[in-house]
Structure 1
Amino acid sequence: MSERRSFSADEARNLLRRARTGTLGTLNAEGGIPYASLVNLATDVRGCPVILVSTLAWHTRNLLADPRGSVMVAEMPPEGDALTGARVTVMGRFSRVEGREVSRRYLARHPAAELYAGFGDFAFWRLEPELAHAVAGFGRIETIPANELFPSADEMIALEEGAVQHMNEDHEDAIQRFAEKLLGATAGGWKIMAIDPDGADLRRGEEVLRLPFGTPVYSGGALRSCLAKLGEQTRV
């Protein structure tokens, strides 16, 4: 039995799921000096970071020359020392990705990006993780291998689009209750735009909410059970 981590892989991955921005680390194409920049951030179904960047940006030119990079996300505490807040850095290599699924999940987190996501000089890049370093305050520091932080999610990848469509077409009332009773928003107009093992992204216009599942789900049966339980909670 493996030792229990002080900052679990699930906690670290959910930190990535909640983040809408992150710090991107690349190697400067001129001289190789590390370069840090701010990017909007989304995740694929497994949880791997996805960015949308222009070829005009320094960080994109850097990735074209050397795909090695990292993404760091952090949650600042409401007061006190910022270094007591949780953060995770994922290291690996970036590669360009295409497809409706990537675009849908990214725009679920960043609806304003619809204005430029189709421009010819913009492209989606995904970080293929190799290692992660997670910190959640004193004594909660972990180095986590990629396969632990991002376990296989093949069944969820295959069913995600159908599950999103089914929820929006057949369970609209439940989605409104999720937004109102679980996430503190006003009901009306919400749609589920993306689903993954850790939760769902809800969107209304340019408003975005993250619905966490609490416990990861990796099968259709587990997803149905999770959503049914959330539905029961909101009927009370």
Structure 2
Amino acid sequence: MADEMAQAEEEIQAAEIAAREESPESNIANWLQTVHHGTLSTLSTKKGIEGFPIGSIVPFALDEFGRPFILVADIAAHTRNINKSNEVCLFLSDPNSSGDPQSHWRISLVGNMKRVVSSSEIDDISPELLKKSIQISDEEESILLARYRERVPQAELYLRTHNFSFYLMNEIHYVRYIAGFGKICWVKGQDLLDKMLGNDVKEVSHGAVQHMNEDHEDSIIQICKAFHHIESEKAEMVSIDSGGTVIKSIHPERYVYNSFPHRISANELRTSIVDLAKKARMQLTDES
């Protein structure tokens, strides 16, 4: 028995060494960027199975820090579960896998999720739920909606008319990382968030935004038209993060988000923005 336990421990250590050789934080960051839905597990509040995990498929998007957030109905079981106990797990797997599913990557993000409440909603929320929520401005909610709408185009209808609310995974404690057979490890949540944030991008993004607004408003307007079907008289770039860029159409007023194909570093920022503008021009040319 002791020999078997020692052998098992050696195999675990070998799997972790193999996983660490592939920069798991970078891989997880890019998988979150490119995969748009996962299985959310919450702790049941249903009588008779209280505390048991229950899974549900959810689309998700990423906020400016790279944290996943969802848009869910107030009447959904997992919404009630989160409001009672906010420990959750978001599971993603390779959408292009074939053959043995265990030979492909999968990740489990373990953390906490809270409801996001905008300024205009505060009076409609119970004091108990409000105390456990994240409060943001209406403008911040509009930017969250833009990020989510890029992945789920009908999101605005849900948010405005069907009693749906945003819930943000505001804490990620650990990620269980499996990149296939023999490549397995735990990743600290903060290490992942540091990679998602891309501090080098944050340092140079302000200058890039200023340059685009001063010299390339025509490109910003073309992006609005090509990808979001908005005929803008005026538009401005609001922010750039390692996952994409927020743009505000001013006439008409609307926020939109444009993802990059992968999480970028600072030395990829200029090329990524140029590629986005070129793609918009090409699409408009093809449509004309």
- Aligned position for 2:24: 8
- Tell me the amino acid that sits aligned with residue 93 of structure 2: A
Q: Residue 143 of structure 2: which of 93, 101, 109 is its match?
A: 101
Mark the CA change 1:74 to 1:7 in structure 2 (over 3 Å): closer, same or farther.
Answer: farther
Aligned to 2:93: 74
How far apart in 2 are the matches of 1:173 and 1:121?
Answer: 32
Whole-angstrom CA distance in 2 between matches of 1:126 and 1:231: 28
RMSD across aligned positions (CA): 3.9
Could you tell me which residue of structure 2 aligns to residue 144 of structure 1?
187
Q: Are 1:7 and 1:136, in contact at CA under 8 Å, matched by a contact in 2? A: no
**TM-score, scaled to structure 1:** 0.73
CA distance in 1, matches of 2:176, 2:222: 37
1:216 deviates by: 2.9
- 1:29 shift after superposition: 1.3
Tell me how far 1:172 sits from its aligned partner: 5.2
Secondary structure, counterpart of 1:117 in structure 2 = helix
Look up the match of 2:102.
83
* 2:22 match: secondary structure: coil
Identity of aligned residues (%): 26
One-letter code aligned to 1:171: S
CA distance in 2, matches of 1:146, 1:139: 22
- Please tell me whether residue 47 in structure 1 is matched to residue 63 in structure 2: no
Determine the C-alpha separation between the residues in 2 that align with 1:41 and 1:88.
Answer: 15
Instruction: Give the TM-score normalised by structure 2.
Output: 0.61
How many residues are matched?
212
Q: Answer whether contact 2:209 2:238 (CA < 8 A) is retained.
A: no
For residues 20-73 of structure 1, the C-alpha deviation after alignment (integer angstroms, 9 at most, x for no partner) is 211001000131110100111111122111100111000000000001101111
Q: Matches of 2:86 and 2:94 in 1, distance apart?
A: 26
What residue is the counterpart of 2:138 in the other structure? none
For 1:160-179, list aligned pairs within 5 A: 163=209, 166=213, 169-171=217-219
Change (3 A) 1:141 1:209: farther
3-state SS, counterpart of residue 107 of structure 2:
strand
As a proportion of its length, which structure holds more helix?
2
Select the residue among 16, 19, 22 that pairs with 2:38.
Answer: 22
Q: Which 5+ residue runs of structure 1 have no aligned equivalent? A: 177-187, 203-207
Structure index of larger Rg: 2
Q: Deviations over 1:73-116 (max 9, x none)?
A: 11144421122222211111101224222111111211121221
1:173 positional shift: 9.4
